[in-house]
Amino acid sequence: MGIEEGLTEKKRGCDNKMKKYRDDEKFRYLTAGDKAIVLEFENKINKETNLLVRKIYYFISKKNIEGIEEMVPTYRSLIIYYDPQKIKYENLIQRFKKIETSITEITIPIARVTEIPVLYGGGCGPDLEFVAQYNKLSTKEVIKIHSEKEYFIYMLGFLPGFTYLGGMSDKIATPRLEKPRLKVSGGSVGIAEKQTGIYPIESPGGWQIIGRTPIKLYDPKRSFPFLLKSGDYVRFYPIGREQFKEIKKSIEEGDYIFLS
Query: Domains of the chain: which residue ranges?
Result: 3-10+111-252, 17-105
Low-confidence ranges of the chain (pLDDT < 70): 1-26, 257-260
**HSE-CB for 33 with a 13 A CA cutoff:** 8
| Burial class of residue 210 (count of CB atoms within 10 Å of its CB; 0-12, 13-18, 19+) | buried
d(CA 131, CA 5) in angstroms, rounded, equals 29
CATH of domain 17-105: 3.30.1360.40
* Amino acid at position 251, single letter: I
pLDDT, tens digit, 9 for 90 and up, residues 20-43: 433 344 578 888 888 998 888 777
Contacts of residue 249, Cβ cutoff 8 Å, sequence gap at least 6: none
Q: Which pLDDT value is given to residue 227? A: 85
3-state SS assignment for residue 17: coil
Among the listed residues 116, 132, 199, the one whose alpha carbon sits nearest the alpha carbon of residue 159: 199
Q: What is the pLDDT of residue 66?
A: 87
Residues 180, 174: Cα–Cα separation, whole Å: 14
The arrangement of secondary structure in 3-10+111-252, i.e. its CATH architecture, is Beta Barrel (2.40)
What pLDDT is attached to residue 133? 98
Q: What is the pLDDT of residue 231?
A: 82
Say whether 72 sits in a helix, a strand or coil. strand
Distance between CA atoms of 73 and 116, rounded to whole angstroms? 23
> What does the alpha-carbon distance between residue 69 and residue 86 come to, in Å, rounded to a whole number?
10
Per-residue pLDDT at 258:
55
